[in-house]
Amino acid sequence: GGLKASVGEDGYKRYYYTDKVDESQRISATFVTLARNRDLNSLIGSIRHIEDRFNNKFHYDWVFLNDEEFTDEFKAVTSSLVSGTTKYGKIDKSQWGFPEWIDQDKAAAVRKDMHDRRIIYGDSIPYRHMCRYESGFFYRHPLMMDYEYYWRVEPDVKIYCDIDYDIFRFMKDNKKSYGWTISLPEYIETIPTLWKTTKEFIKANPQYLPENNMLDFVSDDGGESYNLCHFWSNFEIGSLEFWRGEAYSAYFEYLDKAGGFFYERWGDAPVHSIAAALFLPRDELHFFGDVGYYHVPFHNCPVDPQTRLTNKCVCNTQEDFTWKDYSCTNKFHAINNLRRPHNWKSFSG
């Protein structure tokens, strides 16, 4: 098969297909999208971006998940766009709804209060089910159990650059468990007790924290408080085994019992991010600075001129969020001694 390995300047090995995809070289990975039937028209652009920039060369599978049945139209359109095998799953009611230990009146009062305080999605029930599902269940859906790695894709996102190497294989070969593109601080109003609850958990379960974890990404005072930094989970390329593992399973269960998905509005992004920072060795987290990504309202637009040319990026660097003061990506690079693009400072402030 036309598979060629090359080691980049950064020391990472990447595999490139020189001609046709060699299926035997593919690893166990899939795209995964949680969507409603009415999301179809917002989703087709996202699929097209992924296919044009990456998957038309690799033909990885795509799993679609929904709390209702997908329509025939949804299946027909998406399967025509995806170059790999598509699979459609319905979410079990037990994983999309209020757990029995949740006090409905208390949860309703919170939604009313958050509505009055104009907190984004604060009054929404389905959004909470979505956040809880993405936090604790998507990786255990029967259709996902066949796979080791996933790439989460949402409606209305864009990929700005070519990805010529097998990005899933990159994860595996380089022992990466969590890949991301955009990081920023979470709204404190949505997670007032998430850190307190996390501290209780790690106090009772210190064995889940490897020595070289990345606590310093999420806390500026040695774990006393949360600095609100999180990876934006609408883009994730990650290891399913990490979420299925003992540490994360116990953590999710602890959070779920605490009730913050309903008594507050805990997002899957801070939950995933805190877990990745605490329960993974720090070198298993990877910033994808070479793919270019957009989800309203933030752009990751590679600013390094060589990366832009090599990968045929089409975004406007003036819109890049990566190196702005409000982004947490600078901190990630600083605490890990990672090289930044030589011109990053021109895009900060």
Task: Please report, as ranges, the residues that interact with Mn ion according to CB under 5 A.
Answer: 154, 234
Cβ proximity to Mn ion: between 152 and 282 the closer is 152
Helix (H, G, I), strand (E, B) or coil at 11: coil
> Does 30 engage in binding with ligand GDP (CB under 6 A)?
no
Cβ proximity to Mn ion: between 154 and 164 the closer is 154
36 interface partner picked from ligand GDP, Mn ion, none, CB below 5 to 8 A per type: ligand GDP
Tell me the C-alpha to C-alpha distance, in Å, between residue 68 and each of 38, 91, 115, 209.
11, 7, 26, 37
Give the integer Cα–Cα distance in Å for 61 and 86: 6
Site string for ligand GDP, 45-74 (x = CB under 6 A): ---------------------xx-------
> Does 36 engage in binding with ligand GDP (CB under 6 A)?
yes
Catalytic residue at 236? yes
In the set 51, 134, 236, 264, the catalytic residue is: 236
67 interface partner picked from ligand GDP, Mn ion, none, CB below 5 to 8 A per type: ligand GDP
List the beta bridge partners of residue 33: 64
Cβ proximity to ligand GDP: between 138 and 252 the closer is 138
Whether the bond into 297 is cis, omega within 30 of 0: yes
196 interface partner picked from Mn ion, ligand GDP, none, CB below 5 to 8 A per type: none
Whose CA is closest to 149, among 277, 34, 51, 237?
A: 237
Q: Which of 130, 159, 161, 247 binds ligand GDP (CB under 6 A)?
A: 130
With a CB cutoff of 8 Å and minimum separation 6, the contacts of 309 are none
Cβ proximity to ligand GDP: between 208 and 232 the closer is 232
Q: Which stretch binds ligand GDP (CB under 6 A): 33-41, 49-57, 100-108, 338-346?
A: 33-41
Whose CA is closest to 33, among 163, 155, 203?
A: 155
Q: Return the C-alpha torsion angle 271, 326, 213, 265, nearest 10.
A: -10
Q: Are 236 and 178 in contact (CB under 8 A)?
A: yes
Return residues touching ligand GDP (CB under 6 A): 33-36, 39, 66-67, 126-127, 130, 154-155, 234
